[in-house]
């Protein structure tokens, strides 16, 4: 890697450790962490040349983002990350713009109910209701790609499992970015990469579990930790993860589970990348390449 790029990555990681990683390890309240995240994510550029429209699906607030003139043949339903209790339309709007520009697809960003105000399974049920209402409005399941980052990837995969189990139409494909799939925290990379992941901490994951699960839910339930589910019959998957992520082993184990279930699945591990590195594509060349890889996948399943 050229020296100027190495320096740029070092500066970005240093900023992330200060603005996000360090506060997430301090046992702060959900509300305090939400305020910190809201300030940090204002740094992500939003492409105002795109068209934005607030919509509602099954009572859920959503944002539709698309090119103003070019027609889209694919629709990406994206579920944002944030350890089940952080994030929203504002925090991930920049990434949604990047997905629209990279893929040419129309993106619907889903603002699902967060913990601790809404524990499992509220978010999953709300997402399923929104998806099914979209189908009722005439959107064909074969034109939908379901996407999610971090815990949003968990919810996207769990939603597919629930749709399959209830014999409802499945989306055309699954895009899982830096997925958090095992709430038992059984991946060895959580410890192995603890000093390398500039964004995500084990403490934040444990806070998310505490908020998301009540006494009635278990970490090994398939809809809670979809890594433990039988994946048979699910649509083709694309999994992206960085080599420095504490969740690296979640992605690796999902790839193995998909192979065991005869589900088409592509896993790409991006060297030197931290959790949710796609959000930094304006500054990080590897993230730009990852977005191009997503575009190739969307084009592939569209064909």
Coil, helix or strand for 242?
Answer: strand
Q: How many CB atoms lie within 10 A of CB 226?
A: 28
Find out whether 226 and 181 touch, Cβ atoms under 8 Å.
Answer: yes
Find out whether 269 and 241 touch, Cβ atoms under 8 Å.
Answer: yes
Structure-token match 């983002």, residue found: 65
- Residue 205 CB partners (closer than 8 Å, separation 6+): 83, 180, 185, 190, 246
Handedness of CA 112, 191, 201, 273 (dihedral sign): negative
Which pair of tokens denotes residue 49? Answer: 């040349």
What's the CA gap between 149 and 147, in Å, rounded? 7
Q: How many CB atoms lie within 10 A of CB 85?
A: 22
Can you spell out the DSSP letters for 98-135? Answer: HHHHHH--EEEEE-PPPTTTS-TTHHHHHHHHHHHHHH
Read off the DSSP letter of residue 169: P
Alpha helix (H) ranges present in 137-284?
151-165, 189-192, 202-212, 248-260
The per-residue pLDDT for 76 is 98
Domains recognised in the chain with CATH numbers: 50-302 (3.40.50.1820)
Which pair of tokens denotes residue 161? Answer: 């499992």
Q: pTM value?
A: 0.97
The per-residue pLDDT for 6 is 80
The per-residue pLDDT for 7 is 84
The residues annotated as belonging to the active site are: 150
Which pair of tokens denotes residue 125? Answer: 């049920």
Dihedral of the alpha carbons of 42, 43, 49, 52, in degrees to the nearest 10: -30
What's the CA gap between 202 and 109, in Å, rounded? 26
Which pair of tokens denotes residue 224? Answer: 């809670």
Each residue's pLDDT tens digit in the chain (303 positions)? 666 778 888 899 999 999 899 999 998 999 999 999 999 898 899 999 999 999 999 999 999 999 998 788 889 999 999 999 999 999 999 999 999 999 999 999 999 999 999 999 999 999 999 999 999 999 999 999 999 999 999 999 999 999 999 999 999 999 999 999 999 999 999 999 999 999 999 999 999 999 999 988 999 999 999 999 999 999 999 999 999 999 999 999 999 999 999 999 999 999 999 999 999 999 999 999 999 999 999 999 987
Exposure class string for 30-47: b at 16+ Cβ within 10 A, else e: beebbebbeebbeebebe
Report, in this order, helix, strand and coil percent for the chain, each rounded to 5: 45, 15, 40
The per-residue pLDDT for 3 is 66
Find out whether 122 and 58 touch, Cβ atoms under 8 Å.
Answer: no
What's the CA gap between 110 and 189, in Å, rounded? 29
């Amino acid at each position: 890697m050229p020296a100027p790029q190495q320096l740029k990555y070092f500066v970005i990681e240093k900023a992330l450790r200060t603005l996000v990683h360090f506060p997430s390890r301090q046992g702060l309240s959900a509300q305090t962490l939400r305020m910190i995240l809201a300030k940090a994510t204002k740094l992500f550029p939003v492409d105002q040349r795109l068209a934005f429209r607030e919509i509602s699906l099954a009572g859920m607030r959503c944002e539709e983002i698309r090119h103003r003139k070019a027609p889209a043949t694919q629709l990406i339903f994206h579920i944002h990350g944030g350890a089940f209790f952080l994030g929203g339309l504002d925090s991930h709007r920049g990434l949604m713009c990047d997905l629209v520009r990279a893929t040419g697809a129309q993106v619907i960003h889903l603002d699902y109910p967060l913990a601790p105000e809404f524990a499992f399974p509220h978010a999953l049920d709300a997402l399923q209701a929104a998806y099914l209402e979209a189908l009722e409005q005439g959107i064909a399941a074969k034109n939908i790609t379901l996407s999610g980052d971090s815990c949003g990837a968990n919810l996207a995969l769990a939603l597919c499992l629930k749709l399959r189990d209830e014999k409802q139409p499945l989306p055309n494909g699954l895009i899982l970015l830096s997925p958090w799939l095992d709430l038992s925290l059984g991946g060895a990379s959580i410890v192995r990469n603890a000093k390398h992941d500039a964004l995500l901490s084990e403490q934040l994951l444990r806070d998310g579990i505490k908020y998301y699960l009540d006494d009635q839910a278990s970490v090994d339930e398939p809809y809670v930790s979809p890594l433990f589910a039988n994946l048979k019959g699910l649509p083709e998957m694309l999994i992206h993860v960085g080599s420095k992520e504490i969740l690296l082993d979640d992605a690796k184990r999902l790839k193995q589970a998909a192979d065991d279930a005869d589900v088409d699945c592509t896993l790409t591990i991006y060297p030197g990348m931290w959790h949710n590195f796609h959000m930094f594509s304006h500054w990080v060349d590897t993230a730009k390449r990852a977005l191009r890889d997503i575009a190739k996948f969307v084009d592939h399943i569209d064909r």
